[in-house]
């Protein structure tokens, strides 16, 4: 953040594109700025609207050389733009050097990337020393802009000023007058009492969800990564109940309360959240405790209190004769299940700080482990 | 007379470094005269500060990696110091 911690004292901000570069069609410029603001909007309570006349909080100019603020641009290369910390007048404004060749892709200077960086300043972020962060001062053209996301450092920075976005809830998003619930503390990886909210595979990695965070364990790298859920999927709620990956569809389904979301990679799929009752659960089921997908059988198991349902992914329906008692079909799994997933032909059940490895063919528990055994503890 | 290209390049690199440190690392104007003295304390300190911030090897010298970094396009907001 800037010295003195300047920040906006309101959550709804206006922006105005005062002039346009001739390098790109106007709609491409509009789209780049809109997308750049959206990147910040997704991880904060801030919202932005465009105005066409008068003074906006963020006034956006393209300019060359000296352009009225005594900090001249320098021709092609080197300085690409600059922006001012939040405040009245010139503060909050973003200027782009029109001696650059602005492009939609990375063949020239990508306008979206530079705009997203400059708007970070407009919101109160200073430069970051983290080379992976958007707020690192040196331009870094990402090869795959479709998969762009803010780095954890960017999210931490902007959320230190404005907090996280309002949580989604069955009653709809929190309104501007509602208070944001207190943030749960950051869980310690090797806390012997650590429990998980949900566990799922994702494209060969394993995700362990806890409150606002998740650990990402790749079998190729020894150390798990630790991230905010909102930094990957800004519209997902924290404190998930259950999650599973339907590998043949490349979709991870996440559950909270009576709703569920479908995510593919970093994209939350359109049309979600949906109600869990659309899957065929009776009205008495108000939340799912855990879910796992068996790749071999192409069936998903949903665990709710001491019962479970089996869901046929091919017919998209709950199978008849369910629910059944968990303890009857998974001998040894006696307590309520917090989270579950399948790996290497075994089912892993998490309950508090304990984890059971279950062989579905032998129908018995083969190992009792600590919940955080996957995190090198 | 033939131009001494090596000396010219060196001067131009030093100018670039001086400008970079002034713009982004709050190098004081009165330190300017010392930039070309490689052992100048304030300049070495600023180079080290820059190298550390940008994630380069901290040598305190204008080495090739540092030179390459300061030639890259970047944001015009200073990395350190008071923002005006």
pLDDT band at A170 (very low <50, low <70, confident <90, very high): very low
Q: Which residues pair with A200 in a beta bridge?
A: A207
Chain A residues close to B65, C-beta within 8 Å = none
Who has greater pLDDT, B11 or A79? A79
Q: For residue A205, what are its two tokens?
A: 């990695």
Chain-chain contact of B79 with A131 (C-beta, under 8 angstroms): no
A208 in helix, strand or coil? strand
Chain A residues with CB-CB distance to B under 8 A? 2-3, 71, 73, 77-83, 85, 97, 100, 109, 114, 117-118, 121, 126-127, 129, 131, 137-139
H/E segment holding residue A216 = strand A213-218
Who has greater pLDDT, A168 or B80? B80
Cα dihedral sign, A220-A225-A229-A232: negative
Chain A residues close to B71, C-beta within 8 Å = 78
Write the pLDDT tens digit of every residue in A82-101. Answer: 999 999 999 999 999 999 99
Q: For residue A196, what are its two tokens?
A: 């998980």
pLDDT over 50 at B56, yes or no: yes
Return d(Cα A240, Cα A229) in angstroms, integer: 10
Beta strand residue intervals within A153-204, DSSP E: 198-202
Helix axes A111-123, A26-41, angle to 10 degrees: 50
Return d(Cα A314, Cα A311) in angstroms, integer: 9
pLDDT band at B27 (very low <50, low <70, confident <90, very high): confident
| Of A99-113, A159-173, A285-299, the least confident | A159-173
Chain B residues close to A139, C-beta within 8 Å = 72-75
Chain A residues close to B82, C-beta within 8 Å = 3
The long-range contacts involving A183-186, CB below 8 angstroms and separated by at least 24 positions, are A183/A212, A184/A211, A184/A212, A184/A238, A184/A239, A186/A213
Q: For residue A362, what are its two tokens?
A: 């032998």
The predicted structure's pLDDT at residue B2 = 55
| Of A11-25, A79-93, A133-147, B30-44, the least confident | B30-44
pLDDT band at B3 (very low <50, low <70, confident <90, very high): low
The answer to whether the beta carbons of residues A96 and A115 sit under 8 Å apart is yes
The minimal CB distance from B75 to the residues A2, A77, A117 is found for A117
The predicted structure's pLDDT at residue A246 = 93
The answer to whether the beta carbons of residues A357 and A366 sit under 8 Å apart is yes
Chain-chain contact of A79 with B69 (C-beta, under 8 angstroms): no
Return d(Cα B50, Cα B58) in angstroms, integer: 9
Mutation target vs A (from B73, B80, B84; most A CBs, 10 A cutoff)? B73
Chain-chain contact of B75 with A131 (C-beta, under 8 angstroms): no
């Amino acid at each position: 953040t800037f010295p003195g911690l300047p920040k906006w004292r309101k959550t709804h901000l206006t922006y105005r594109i005062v002039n346009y570069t001739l390098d790109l069609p106007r709609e491409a410029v509009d789209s780049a700025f809109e997308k750049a603001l959206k990147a910040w909007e997704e991880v904060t309570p801030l919202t932005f609207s465009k105005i066409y006349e008068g003074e906006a909080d963020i006034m956006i100019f393209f300019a060359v050389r000296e352009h009225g603020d005594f900090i001249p641009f320098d021709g092609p290369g080197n300085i690409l733009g600059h922006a001012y910390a939040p405040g009245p007048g010139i503060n909050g404004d973003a200027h782009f050097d029109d001696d650059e060749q602005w492009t939609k892709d990375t063949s020239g200077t990508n306008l979206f990337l530079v705009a997203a960086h400059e708007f970070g300043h407009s919101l109160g972020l200073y430069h970051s020393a983290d080379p992976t962060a958007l707020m690192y001062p040196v331009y870094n053209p990402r090869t795959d802009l479709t998969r762009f996301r803010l780095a954890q450092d960017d999210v931490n920075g902007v959320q230190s000023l404005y907090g996280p976005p309002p949580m989604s809830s069955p009653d709809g998003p929190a309104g501007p007058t509602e208070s944001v619930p207190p943030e749960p503390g950051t869980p310690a990886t090797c806390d012997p009492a650590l429990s998980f909210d949900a566990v799922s595979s994702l494209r060969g990695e394993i995700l362990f969800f806890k409150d606002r965070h998740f650990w990402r364990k790749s079998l190729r790298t020894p150390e798990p990564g630790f991230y905010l859920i909102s930094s990957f999927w800004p519209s997902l709620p924290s404190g998930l109940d259950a999650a599973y990956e339907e590998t043949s569809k490349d979709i991870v389904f996440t559950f909270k309360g009576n709703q569920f979301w479908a995510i593919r990679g970093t994209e939350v799929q359109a049309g979600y959240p949906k109600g869990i009752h659309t899957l065929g659960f009776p009205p008495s089921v108000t939340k799912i405790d855990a879910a796992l997908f068996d790749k071999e059988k192409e069936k998903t198991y949903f665990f709710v209190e001491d019962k479970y349902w089996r869901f046929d992914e091919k017919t998209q329906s709950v199978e008849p004769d369910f629910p059944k008692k968990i303890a009857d079909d998974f001998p040894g799994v006696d307590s309520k299940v917090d989270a579950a997933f399948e790996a290497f032909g075994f089912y892993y059940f998490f309950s508090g700080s304990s984890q059971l490895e279950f062989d579905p063919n032998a129908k018995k528990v083969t190992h009792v482990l600590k919940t955080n055994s996957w995190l090198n503890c | 007379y033939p131009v001494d290209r090596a000396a010219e390049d060196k001067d131009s690199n030093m100018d670039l470094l001086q400008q970079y440190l002034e713009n982004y690392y709050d190098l004081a104007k009165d330190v300017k005269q010392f930039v070309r003295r490689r052992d100048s304390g304030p300049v070495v300190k600023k180079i080290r500060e820059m190298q550390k911030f940008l994630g380069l090897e901290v040598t305190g010298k204008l080495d090739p990696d540092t030179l390459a970094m300061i030639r890259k396009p970047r944001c015009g907001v200073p990395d350190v110091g008071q923002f005006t």
